[in-house]
Amino acid sequence: MGKIIGEINFPTNSRTLVSFEHKDDAGVYELTPDLALVQTVDFITPVVDDPYIYGQIAAANSLSDIFAMGATVCTALNIVAYDNCNVSREMLREILKGGADKVREAGGVLIGGHTIEDIEMKYGLSVTGIVHPDKILRNNNIQPGDKLILTKPLGLGVISTAIKADMVSDDIIEKAAFHMSYLNKTASELAVAIGVNAMTDVTGFGLLGHLSEMIDSGYGIDIYYDQIPIIEGSLDLSQTGLFPSGSYKNREYFQPGVKINNNSLDDDRIMLLYDAQTSGGLLISVPEEKAIPLLDKLKTAGLEWCSIIGNVAADSNSILNIY
């Protein structure tokens, strides 16, 4: 994408706080010294067969970028590419209902949208949020000694691909759908309240890709594989190679900055770290003294799968060490 947009002179002004060049989760535009707009857009093809749950997942995925910036959701617009040969009106209604219910759960309102006909169903949202300009949570403001908390398990990409190939049990589908449709709202609010240094969500670039963006600041990161939450069944599926194409692209692109220091990690386990997630969790960089209190608050709020997966190293080597 950088090769495509790199030479385009996009319009900005002094109120543009976060835009293309920052590699962050959403754009931010200052309205007043005390108020900024946070804007994002995302849409996905179906990842489960149930249209209502697909709508929930697509909406949760779109809303996540607002939460990753530490912002509050205000409004959303539907984006629909409608495959009317394979998706009935009743199914489309369920998709939109699933999305609307998630926007309501996020505390926002749906104020419109746009629909086109397409050969493949796609659904998502354009979302606008608000945040104080001084309280924007960027993805690369990590500090030495910070602990890293992951708020959802990995494995969503390989499971989504296996669903399309009809090679996964209903039990695993149900678990993956639960996590993909789970909003990052509570995790974001708790992180903002306790005070953290950086935050992002784990989506298309996989865990190691989004960690690579966090170390743009120049610090190294140590990750401990045994502490990473992984959805039951995804490791077995990884042995089939049913990863999204984006997962293999992630490994090709980000691998030079990764050092594997654990001889027990086979290629299947390593691929899960590159797995392109749909509506993954938040990755939070929090001062060491706040890490356990934040983790406790997250678990008390019902996010019992959260885990401290590593820390920011003091040395400035911009390397991801996997132990």
My answer on whether 123 and 199 are in the same domain is no
- pLDDT of the residue at 294: 98
Q: Please report whether residue 31 resides in a domain.
A: yes
Is pLDDT above 90 for 22? Answer: no
Q: Please report whether residue 141 resides in a domain.
A: no
- Residue 217 corresponds to which tokens in the numbers above? 């600041």
The Cα 234–Cα 176 span in angstroms is 9
Rounded mean pLDDT of 34-53? 97
Q: Is the dihedral of CA 194, 197, 200, 202 positive or negative?
A: negative
Sheet of 258-260, strand order: 198-201, 282-286, 147-150, 307-312, 221-223, 320-322, 258-260
My answer on whether 167 and 197 are in the same domain is yes
Q: What is the mean pLDDT of the chain?
A: 94
My answer on whether 77 and 195 are in the same domain is no
| CB-count exposure of residue 33 (10 Å: 0-12, 13-18, 19+) | exposed
- pLDDT of the residue at 154: 97
Residue 246: C-alpha distances to residues 157, 252, 278 (Å):
9, 10, 11
The Cα 124–Cα 81 span in angstroms is 9
Q: Please report whether residue 62 resides in a domain.
A: yes
- Residue 230 corresponds to which tokens in the numbers above? 């992984």
pLDDT tens string 156-187: 999 999 998 889 999 999 999 999 999 999 99
E strand or H helix at 299: helix 288-300
E strand or H helix at 247: helix 245-254
**Mean pLDDT lowest for which of 61-75, 253-267, 292-306?**
253-267
The residue from 135, 166, 196 where one domain ends is 135
Is pLDDT above 80 for 4? Answer: no
| pLDDT confidence band for 23 (50 / 70 / 90) | confident
My answer on whether 68 and 216 are in the same domain is no
The residue from 110, 135, 160 where one domain ends is 135
Is pLDDT above 70 for 264? Answer: yes
Which CATH number do you get for residue 35? 3.30.1330.10
Rounded mean pLDDT of 225-247? 92
- pLDDT of the residue at 242: 87
My answer on whether 124 and 155 are in the same domain is no
The residue from 102, 135, 168 where one domain ends is 135
Is pLDDT above 70 for 80? Answer: yes
My answer on whether 129 and 181 are in the same domain is no
Is pLDDT above 80 for 13? Answer: yes
Q: How many domains are contained in the chain?
A: 2
My answer on whether 206 and 298 are in the same domain is yes
Q: Which domain holds residue 55?
A: 2-135
pLDDT tens string 193-225: 999 999 999 999 999 999 999 986 678 999 999
Rounded mean pLDDT of 14-21? 86
The Cα 3–Cα 1 span in angstroms is 5
Is pLDDT above 70 for 290? Answer: yes
Is pLDDT above 60 for 146? Answer: yes
246 Cβ contact partners less than 8 Å away, ≥ 6 residues apart: 157, 204, 206, 276
Rounded mean pLDDT of 234-245? 90
My answer on whether 18 and 73 are in the same domain is yes
Which CATH number do you get for residue 160? 3.90.650.10
| pLDDT confidence band for 25 (50 / 70 / 90) | confident
Q: Is the dihedral of CA 218, 222, 228, 234 positive or negative?
A: positive
Q: What are phi and psi of 106, to 5 degrees?
A: -75, -10
pLDDT tens string 106-118: 999 999 999 999 9
Q: Which is more confidently placed, 128 or 244?
A: 128
| Buried b or exposed e, range 233-252, using 16+ CB within 10 angstroms | bbbebbeeebbbebbebbbe
Q: What is the pTM of this model?
A: 0.95
Residue closest to 283 by CA, chosen among 206, 231, 226: 206
